[in-house]
Structure formats: C-alpha cells, structure tokens
Amino acid sequence: MTKAQKYSIIQNKDIVQILCKGAFKLTITRINVKKIEGHEFLKGVASIVFDDAFKVREIKILKGKDGELHVSMPNKPVPNGTFVSLAYPVSNEIRVAIENAIINEYNKIP
C-alpha cells in the first residue's frame, strides 16, 4: 500500500465504510459511547467495532481548548513519561472518518 493511494468514505445512517482503492474495505459495524460528566476536558469514552470482528476500546472523547470535540485513540504511559499509542489509524482520511463517526454518536446522546 503506498501513500499515493486514495481513500473514500461512505457514511450511512448506521455504518461507515472506509474504502481504499483496490486494497480493502473497512466497515464500522458498532460504536458504543458513554458520556462522562464532571470533567473539564474528558467528555466521553467510546469503543468501535470493525467488520463485526475487531474492537478498539478506551477511545477518549475530549473537549479541546478550541471548544471542539476531538478523539484520542487508546494509549499507555511508558517509563520515560511519554505515551505510546496502542491502536491508531494510519491515514488522516481514516482518522477523520472514525472521529466523525464517534462524535456523531456522542452528539446523539441527550
């Protein structure tokens, strides 16, 4: 897979499909979101399932200094005081599709 490949995003009411030219199709089949009250920046936690086969959990929904919601993929601290990502999208297009799908589900919760 090269950086020159383009991704296309198809978003329906219930699923998000991420298509890569000739390489693969990834479908978000389930998103679970839990709102968190009482925190200044942490607004929720999500899990997402791809193709009813692969689940990513502990995705944080954060309110940025700009007031907008952002998604932080799961990570863990390492001994030098930094964090290492456990799972993450490898392209910006896929990151945007996942972030939009999670934030849309978050916004549906009263």
- Give the pLDDT score at 24: 59
User: Rounded to an integer, what distance in angstroms lies between the CA atom of residue 41 and that of residue 49?
Assistant: 25
What pLDDT, on the 0 to 100 scale, is given for residue 9? 45
Question: Is the pLDDT score of 11 beyond 80?
Answer: no
CA neighbours closer than 13 Å in the CB half-sphere of residue 32: 6
**What would the mean pLDDT of 19-27 be, rounded to a whole number?**
62
The radius of gyration of the chain from alpha carbons, rounded to an integer in Å, stands at: 15
pLDDT digits (tens, 9 = 90+) for 49-88: 988 889 999 999 999 999 999 999 999 999 999 999 999 8
Strands (E), the chain: 7-11, 16-20, 24-35, 42-50, 54-63, 69-72, 75-77, 83-85
Q: For 7-108, which CATH superfamily applies?
A: Stage V sporulation protein G (3.30.1120.40)
Q: What is the DSSP letter of 41?
A: S
pLDDT for res 108: 93
pLDDT at residue 16, as a whole number: 57
Rounded to whole angstroms, how far apart are CA atoms 57 and 46? 6
pLDDT at 107 over 80: yes
